[in-house]
Amino acid sequence: MQLTGNTIFITGGTSGIGRGFAEAFHRLGNQVIVAGRRRALLDEVTAANPGMRSIELDIADPAAITAVAATLVSEFPRLNVLFNNAGIMPFDDASGVIDDAVAQAILTTNLLGPIRMTSALIEHLKAQPRATIINNTSVLAFLPLASTAVYSASKAALHAYTLSQRFMLRNTRVTVQEIAPPWVDTDLIKKSGDPRAMPLDAFIAETMAGLGTEAEEVVVEAVRSVRDNPGAKEHAMVNAFNAALVANPIPV
């Protein structure tokens, strides 16, 4: 994608990876609009970044998505980048009872949220001289973390959806890019300084460089071997990964 001259809407843009990208794009002179559920956090982000705009959005509410899309088209007619970033990551235990309400919340936020948000804006994006959809999946789409089984599945599903979406948009002016972050040191899990987690600034810088190309998928070098899943040996890789985390758990 072109990294400048855009009007960019970022869901889940008040903290962590979302805020990091919002501020990176803002520094490049793009018009950035961040969305989130909490007005106080939206105000904090925009106060720290003069010129950035914000809008309240509960990505789990289809009516809210429709209303926000209408507002965006009206107030920001040059909107040409949708960054589907909002997500939640509760831990679970697939060997026992999965809380149905929690599972539905994960799937509604992480999978249906991007599908619904894109659907609400897709015709507007198609009408732009150039446009980009960025879907934030996860390296866990390719290497599931057993203690976040539903989250990992939601990201695998969004990856599959992105592949289909990109193909179906191939004859339009809308390109689709996917980012698949590793464990980044943010509050999505717990910001702890764990050396296994990639520092946020390093992740944003490397991923922005990738987004500035025509790459369909942007993965930081540290997890490229994970993305290049070893096919028939996948089971051994997944088991070894999760066994290592049992021995040295993620702080929660």
Other beta carbons less than 10 A from residue 77's beta carbon = 12
* Token pair in block for residue 124: 């507007």
Query: Tell me, what DSSP letter sits at residue 32?
Result: E
Among 9, 151, 183, 203, the one annotated catalytic: 151
User: Average pLDDT in the 47-61 region?
Assistant: 98
Q: Is the CB of residue 37 less than 8 Å from the CB of residue 56?
A: yes
pLDDT digits (tens, 9 = 90+) for 217-236: 999 999 998 888 778 888 89
Measured in degrees and rounded to the nearest 5, phi and psi for residue 121 equal: -115, -5
Q: Is the CB of residue 80 less than 8 Å from the CB of residue 125?
A: yes
- Which residue, among 72, 67, 151, 148, has the nearest Cα to 109 in the 3D structure? 151
Domain ranges of the chain: 7-247
* Token pair in block for residue 41: 């956090």
Give the pLDDT score at 133. Answer: 98
Query: Tell me, what DSSP letter sits at residue 214?
Result: T
- Architecture of the structural domain at 7-247: 3-Layer(aba) Sandwich (3.40)
User: Average pLDDT in the 207-213 region?
Assistant: 98
At 236 the three-state DSSP class reads helix
* Token pair in block for residue 204: 């944003």
Give the pLDDT score at 187. Answer: 72
Q: Is the CB of residue 169 less than 8 Å from the CB of residue 162?
A: no
Residue 151 designated active-site: yes
Give the pLDDT score at 190. Answer: 61
pTM beyond cutoff 0.75: yes
Which of 90 and 232 is assigned the larger pLDDT? 90
Give the pLDDT score at 67. Answer: 98
Give the pLDDT score at 251. Answer: 72
Residue 215 pLDDT greater than 70, yes or no = yes
C-alpha Rg value of the chain to the nearest Å: 18
pLDDT digits (tens, 9 = 90+) for 173-194: 999 999 999 989 887 666 667 7
Give the pLDDT score at 189. Answer: 64
Give the pLDDT score at 252. Answer: 64
